[in-house]
């Protein structure tokens, strides 16, 4: 990429970042992205995604699918448009772009668009799928999975430092709820504190020995939210906590042990599970294990998955989120290389550059 193309790419990234697209409010960034892709001669379709049940929001949200050529893509690049709160406006210096979504995952969106344009010029059948809701429940990916386009391979983008992920941990979300009886705090014997029960339940949960995978590492547990009580001088009649376990295998044993640990004090309800997955490798590329969860398990109808993207997960979801510009340019080249290697692995699939006759080979299923 020449300096002018790089400047234009950074400008596109910053425009995307300066649109607040916190989960459930992705409509504006989706509209901007769809228009930008049409201007780049992609055939764009929108996939409406409803707000979650019980939501008070009626804001429009949708996935954006963009095809580089007619027909089924051989490779689909996919990542998410939504970000975690709070929104942080973009800024940059010579080396980095800073702000919410820099690496998770709007920098990845830009790298994928640039790679898709290069692959289109080589007549490799390619498409883009940008979804909503990844940071909460993969709602956009689930909707997309009901509308597959015949893609043979899926390259999902998350911040992996441009290393190919060999596995991605799953997620098990649980609500731990304790109930009690209100009373005046001067007479605790007349009440029953739900908060005291919850504290005991969470202490027991933290003592559970979680599974460990030799090549992936341990399951981990985070108590992310605590709620409960009425006032400092009132014995609490209700209290709850939200717990997230990162899975390295099946969840059945972990579910049973968490329930048993909390049982004397509180109830445990499991509200979301995204399974642990192992992913496609490619010889010669640096690798890593993703300790985080992705949309990959929800996109099973979009081809054999790979997980790869620029940026560090260690700065995602932080006030210091950033992406190194050079890492974005490297990602463009890497995405092109991986897609071409995938095409070469499919009998009869050729790009213009690979074909002796200078004509693209037959597409998938030909």
Active site residues: 134
Give alpha helix (H) positions in 95-231.
107-121, 139-145, 194-206
Distance CA 335, CA 46 (A): 24
Angle (CA) 241-61-69 rounded to 5° is: 125
Q: Give the containing element (helix H, strand E) for 170.
A: strand 170-179
Residue 102 DSSP code: I
For residue 125, what are the CA distances in angstroms to 72, 130, 151? 7, 17, 9
Q: Give me the residue label for tokens 């290697």.
A: 341
Point out which residues pair with 75 in neighbouring strands: 126, 153
Distance CA 53, CA 50 (A): 8
């Amino acid at each position: 990429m020449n300096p002018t193309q790089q400047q234009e790419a950074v400008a596109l990234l910053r425009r995307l970042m300066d649109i607040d697209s916190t989960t459930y409010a992705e409509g504006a960034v989706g509209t901007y992205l769809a228009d930008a892709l049409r201007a780049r001669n992609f055939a764009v379709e929108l996939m409406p995604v409803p707000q979650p049940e019980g939501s008070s929001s009626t804001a429009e949200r949708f996935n954006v699918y963009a095809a580089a050529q007619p027909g089924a893509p051989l490779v689909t690049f996919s990542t998410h448009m939504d970000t975690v709160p709070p929104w942080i406006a973009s800024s940059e210096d010579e080396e980095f772009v800073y702000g919410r979504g820099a690496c998770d995952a709007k920098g990845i969106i830009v790298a994928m668009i640039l790679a898709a344009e290069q692959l289109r010029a080589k007549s490799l059948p390619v498409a883009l799928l940008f979804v909503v809701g990844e940071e909460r429940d993969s709602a956009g990916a689930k909707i997309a999975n009901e509308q597959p386009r015949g893609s043979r391979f899926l390259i999902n983008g998350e911040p992996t430092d441009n290393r190919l992920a060999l596995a991605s941990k799953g997620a098990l979300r649980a609500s731990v709820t304790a109930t009690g009886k209100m009373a005046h705090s001067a007479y605790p014997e007349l009440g029953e504190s739900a908060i005291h029960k919850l504290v005991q339940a969470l202490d027991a949960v933290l003592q559970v020995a979680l599974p460990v995978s030799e090549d992936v590492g341990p399951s981990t547990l985070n108590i992310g939210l605590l709620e409960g009580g009425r006032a400092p001088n009132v014995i609490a009649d209700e209290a709850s906590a939200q717990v997230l376990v990162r899975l390295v295998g099946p969840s059945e044993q972990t579910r049973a042990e968490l329930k048993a640990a909390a049982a004397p004090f509180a109830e445990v309800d499991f509200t979301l599970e995204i399974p642990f997955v192992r992913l496609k490798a490619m010889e010669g590329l640096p690798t890593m294990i993703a300790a985080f969860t992705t949309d990959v398990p929800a996109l099973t109808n979009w081809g054999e998955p790979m997980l790869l993207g620029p940026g560090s997960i260690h700065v995602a979801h932080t006030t210091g989120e950033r992406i190194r510009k050079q890492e974005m340019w490297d990602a463009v080249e890497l995405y092109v290389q991986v897609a071409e290697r995938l095409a070469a692995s499919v009998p009869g699939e050729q790009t213009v550059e690979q074909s002796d006759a200078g004509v693209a080979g037959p597409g998938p299923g030909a």
